[in-house]
Structure 1
Amino acid sequence: MGRSKTLKWARKNIPNPFEDFTKDDIDPDEEGNPIMQYPRNKIRTTKYTPLTFLPKNILFQFHNFANVYFLVLIILGAFQIFGVTNPGLSAVPLVVIVIITAIKDAIEDSRRTVLDLEVNNTKTHILEGVENENVGDIVRIHNNDEIPADIILLSTSDTDGACYVETKNLDGETNLKVRQSLKCTNTIRTSKDIARTKFWIESEGPHSNLYTYQGNMKWRNLADGEIRNEPITINNVLLRGCTLRNTKWAMGVVMFTGGDTKIMLNSGITPTKKSRISRELNFSVVINFVLLFILCFVSGIANGVYYDKKGRSRFSYEFGTIAGSAATNGFVSFWVAVILYQSLVPISLYISVEIIKTAQAAFIYGDVLLYNAKLDYPCTPKSWNISDDLGQVEYIFSDKTGTLTQNVMEFKKCTINGVSYGRAYTEANPLFPPGSEIKTQLTLKRKVS
């Protein structure tokens, strides 16, 4: 929405809210001053920043056991004693895996950055952008607008001070919830009303519980000069991420911003997810590695045992002065066997899996059957590395609110004293035409009467 110069002017001319209160009426800091330091309303849901992308992404990739194994093989190949003819060429497969995965992760995270910019640059009344919103600012929200911060509801377009919000971004529920403005501020309608208003809000600290809030609003009664109080509960709060519905406008004061909002406290750090196939693949790699270790260990022991015997391995595989003893020869043979048997852990499988996951995401995005024509929005996979989990779903738990159809209730059939009335004609059962249904319903009326 556009900027409202009137509301901005009114906000600047609000009298000091502390001038009518003593220091005993508020919660000061250690020096006796009101606490006025709050986080910015800017949010960030990305995993990486331009500076941390390379180190963090490479670190996450080497949480994969196979990548560590292939890196060890590349390091071993750098030593000439192990007989690798071209160690640089052996590093190409791992480099390809790391680059493909990094590109895929960069594309995913860039989309999160775009969404964050859209949210942070959303225009609101009074303020230039949502990310500049400060605690204590008074904002006006219009119908179908998303709530920009955790806001205490002061007044609404409804004379009773009620408004409706959609909370599906918080708890997944699509049914609208009623929120009520404070009684003491329900008469606020214009910027002039704001300029004449003085109040102080005592609030609990930010926490992640979406269903509880405790606060208190204080104001001085002009009639007798006494300070009055009104409690504030979760029913008087509009949480960030909700959407205002069926209400022309609502006005409130910003309570929590940025990382202090409940939706951000519940979101936490964006995790790095792994699909079921990836976890099972890592387990299979561990089993193959155990078998590989056994084979290499046996090879090293055998080569060490036969070191001093003539006509054996010592004369076929001579390592010079480094393998001057049976123990040294067995140790070197162990690592040579690791390089020779490395095909037990197929690196080509990981390259294929990364390419397939990237292609799957492209197919999902371009699937015409998954396209939403009403919203003009395609099916957009947000985590490419877990798209294969769609084929692993066994159970679906759904919380049904309302009816599953068009919420049209029609009388079809009933039983009175064991006698069945009506034929329950439906589109799925076209054995009885609609005309016969009308006759049975008329018969029912005569029978009941």
Structure 2
Amino acid sequence: MPLMMSEEGFENDESDYHTLPRARVKQRQRGLGWLLMGGWKILCGSCCDCLARTCRRTKELKARTVWLGHPEKCEEKYPKNAIKNQKYNFFTFVPGVLYQQFKFFLNLYFLVVACSQFVPALKIGYLYTYWAPLGFVMAVTMVREAVDEVRRYQRDKEMNSQLYSKLTVRGKVQVKSSDIQVGDLIIVEKNQRIPADMIFLRTSEKTGSCFIRTDQLDGETDWKLKVAVVCTQRLPALGDLFSINAYVYAQKPQLDIHSFEGNFTREDGDPQIHESLSIDHTLWASTIVASGTVIGVVIYTGKETRSVLNTSSPKNKVNSFYLKIFATTTLFCVNLFVG
């Protein structure tokens, strides 16, 4: 049976057809308004997040088994124990500084105002009254950021080049902080910074414990008591650490500096020796040995250490000087134009 269409139906279809372009125009207007009223921030943020995920694949953190003095037995490749606090490199410095400055609404607003002066209908005063302060302040900002980057580089280089004693089968050898690996046995002297996250194995103190200062880790000047693993502390000599077959099972890297879960196991004994490990057996990177000499096995290095995991990326401050100069110039130009 054929379908019958009434004239009224044709009229409604035709009316809808004529109103379709108007609806599209309204959608465009709403889209433009959303973009100007803050949608650009969401759009830029989404693009940056997508680009970051594409360029930087985050490795999943896992628990690990670390054999004493045998980094070659590690099942996975762990990050290099190098400190890097730089925010930029040679190629990202200029775009990075510009992004950090203009990601704030007020800064971006002043940039848009300056750009609008190229439109004759919106022009107020001379272009240099807008672009000269903007260029001056951005130049000052870049110089300041460049100086800060050089200082960060120098500090990192000094920290990474510090020498430590590493215990090997042939005895002690000197190694740079940046060359320390998971599984290494590192000796740290009194008043020396701990270069990586370690499990406390032995100390020169007869009590089997030592104090460390945590001011470089949590910002508070505090001394904490740490206890060595009983099995390794009771060994007759330091070199006996290579005469036993032992490993540490450590949980995956965590943010919490006040907790730790792990186990110490010595397999060559009969029966095997098992010790539960807690926060009292840990020596976190960036803390300072306050008493005696300690030796520990490295379990976390570089960006997996507690100190790095709890350090947020340095952020640029909003340039209030820039805001004051540009606001003052804008008001002066407006008053001049009105007057």
Letter of the aligned partner of 1:155 in structure 2?
A: R
* Aligned counterpart for 1:272 among listed residues 312, 316, 328: 316
Q: Which runs of 5+ in 2 are unaligned?
A: 1-67, 167-173
Change (3 A) 1:230 1:77: same
Indicate the residue corresponding to 1:198 in structure 2. 245
1:217 and 2:264 are equivalent in the alignment: yes
Q: Which runs of 5+ in 1 are unaligned?
A: 1-12, 19-33, 293-338, 345-449
Q: Answer whether contact 2:164 2:187 (CA < 8 A) is retained.
A: yes
Deviates more, 1:98-107 or 1:180-189: 180-189
Change (3 A) 1:187 1:75: same
1:152-167 equivalences in 2 (<5 Å): 152-167=199-214
1:93 and 2:137 are equivalent in the alignment: no
- Structure scoring higher RCO (CA < 8 A, sep ≥ 6) equals 2
% same residue:
27
* Aligned counterpart for 2:284 among listed residues 221, 225, 239: 239
| 1:116 positional shift | 1.3
Change (3 A) 1:89 1:48: same
Indicate the residue corresponding to 2:154 in structure 1. 114
Q: Answer whether contact 2:163 2:175 (CA < 8 A) is retained.
A: yes
Indicate the residue corresponding to 1:178 in structure 2. 225
| 1:343 positional shift | 7.1
1:335-354 equivalences in 2 (<5 Å): 341=334
* Aligned counterpart for 2:98 among listed residues 41, 58, 65: 58
1:36 and 2:83 are equivalent in the alignment: no
| 1:174 positional shift | 2.7
After superposition, the CA RMSD in angstroms is 3.3
Change (3 A) 1:188 1:103: farther
Q: Answer whether contact 1:15 1:195 (CA < 8 A) is retained.
A: no
Q: Answer whether contact 1:77 1:84 (CA < 8 A) is retained.
A: yes
| 1:122 positional shift | 1.0
1:46-85 equivalences in 2 (<5 Å): 46-79=86-119
| 1:200 positional shift | 1.6
1:228 and 2:221 are equivalent in the alignment: no
Indicate the residue corresponding to 1:132 in structure 2. 179
Change (3 A) 1:237 1:342: farther
Could you report, residue by residue, the CA deviation over 1:64-104 in whole angstroms, capped at 9, with x for unpaired residues?
54543443344333345666796467522211111011111
Indicate the residue corresponding to 1:143 in structure 2. 190
Q: Answer whether contact 2:71 2:184 (CA < 8 A) is retained.
A: no
| 1:109 positional shift | 2.5
Residues of 1 paired with 2:71 and 2:122: CA distance?
78
Higher strand proportion (structure 1 or 2): 2
Residues of 1 paired with 2:156 and 2:335: CA distance?
44
Could you report, residue by residue, the CA deviation over 1:188-232 in whole angstroms, capped at 9, with x for unpaired residues?
47563232122121111111111100100111243x3x3321111
Name the TM-score, length of structure 2 as normaliser. Answer: 0.67
Instruction: Report how many residues are paired.
Output: 260
Indicate the residue corresponding to 1:262 in structure 2. 306
Change (3 A) 1:342 1:134: farther
Letter of the aligned partner of 2:283 in structure 1?
A: L
Letter of the aligned partner of 1:267 in structure 2?
A: T
Change (3 A) 1:342 1:164: farther
Indicate the residue corresponding to 2:163 in structure 1. 123
Q: Answer whether contact 2:124 2:334 (CA < 8 A) is retained.
A: no
Residues of 2 paired with 1:66 and 1:207: CA distance?
37
Residues of 2 paired with 1:270 and 1:113: CA distance?
14
Change (3 A) 1:241 1:57: same
* SS of the residue 1:201 aligns to: strand
Letter of the aligned partner of 1:153 in structure 2?
A: F
| 1:154 positional shift | 0.6
Letter of the aligned partner of 1:152 in structure 2?
A: I
Residues of 1 paired with 2:146 and 2:131: CA distance?
22
Q: Which structure: larger Rg?
A: 1
Residues of 1 paired with 2:69 and 2:198: CA distance?
19
